[in-house]
Amino acid sequence: MSAFFLALTSYQPAQASANTFTAKPVRLGDNLLSILRQQGFSEKEREQVLAADKGLRTLFLTLDTRYLVRRSPGEVELRMFDSQTSDAFRILKKGPSIQAQAYKPNYKISLTRVEGRVYGSLLGSVLAKINSNWVATRFMDAYVFDMTSSRDVARGARFWFTVEKKYEAGQFVKYGEVLQTSLEIDGASVQKRFVRYKDGGVFFSAQDLSDEKPFYAPVEYIKVASRFKPNRLHPITKRLQPHLGIDFELPTGDPVFAPRKGIVVRYGNNRAAGNYIVLLHSNGMETSYNHLHRIDKRIRQGLKVSAGEKIGEVGCTGYCTRAHLHFAVKKKGRMVDPVKYIKAYPQQMQEFLEERVASN
């Protein structure tokens, strides 16, 4: 596994005297409108900003992200960074003129290593070492297919990880991807590396290739928003309601793939699931896909699909607060925890991962 480790890079922020931007923290309760108001944008100007780019209306900000402000006579420029995607926006107020548009930041990146021991919950132990919910949940994502319960991680278990820190205009603005991880599970150190693939990527170790679970992952980027929970407070109805699947949080339009050869037995739309598809597989198990933005136009009842074939796109239809794929598995008529049955990577990555392992 040592061949998987990356050499740390370093970056020294520009001197303050050479930097015209100031980094501002996102505070509790902040959103784009409140930040614009704080920076002197009138109600009409705020409306102009939101109308300029639809991405600004869904900009997601968290407390571990900063935004940039530059002021000069008669001019204010803001640079905003979505906390969970690569989206970034430049907003310029110059006299009576308002401009707002997406742009691609010229990030400088450094890597930071964090290490500790588990006391209490694993998530809480990671948060105690780095105050970033994004980073802590990405670390948890690395082991979502390796732990069946919290009891797999003993008190005092060691962990470490490296994470990207992203700088724009000489200022730290957000954390990036968690690149390497290590965690003691059942007394053994399990190390993972984030392997990028196209626009996505997965946390991977060579041992994952020997996993005999029957299904591949249905998405190319593993970001888990909610796991299988027999008792859960529903975020919309606010009632105790079982969550009988796993939610992969991804941007609207990201592809959804068949995890194994199967047949379409149902598809359509209903109030709760939104756009949905149900596949029946040769092992007698069913998989379902809810809240889709779009169902592939080829989908029809009785259609045979292959593993890795695109069947739809991630969305937020039905009962939904943020775009995600609700993926569920049914075995012998009973809903079961999907993480016990799916591999850590999609079918189309297998050959790529095999080549990576063979070359090391």
Question: What is the tens place of the pLDDT at every residue in 99-116?
Answer: 999 999 999 999 999 999
End-to-end CA distance of the chain: 8
228-257 in b/e form (b: 16+ CB < 10 A) is beeeeeeeeeeeeeebbbbbbbbbbebbbb
Mean pLDDT of the region 41-58 = 94
Helix (H) or strand (E) holding 276: strand 274-281
Position 341 scores a pLDDT of 96
> What backbone torsions phi and psi does residue 102 show, to the nearest 5 degrees?
-70, 150
Q: How many helices (H) and strands (E) does the chain have?
A: 5, 21
Question: What is the pTM (predicted TM-score) of this model?
Answer: 0.87
Is the CATH number of domain 212-360 3.40.50.1370? Answer: no
Position 151 scores a pLDDT of 78
> Mean pLDDT in the chain?
91
Distance of alpha carbon 201 from the chain centroid? 10
Give the domain ranges of the chain. Answer: 16-102, 212-360
Position 10 scores a pLDDT of 39
Q: Which of 52-66, 227-241, 326-340 has the lowest mean pLDDT?
A: 227-241
Position 234 scores a pLDDT of 57
Share of the chain above pLDDT 90, in %: 82
- Hey, which of 148-162, 205-219, 236-250 has the most confident mean pLDDT? 205-219
Position 2 scores a pLDDT of 37
Q: Which of 27-41, 221-235, 262-276, 344-358 has the lowest mean pLDDT?
A: 221-235
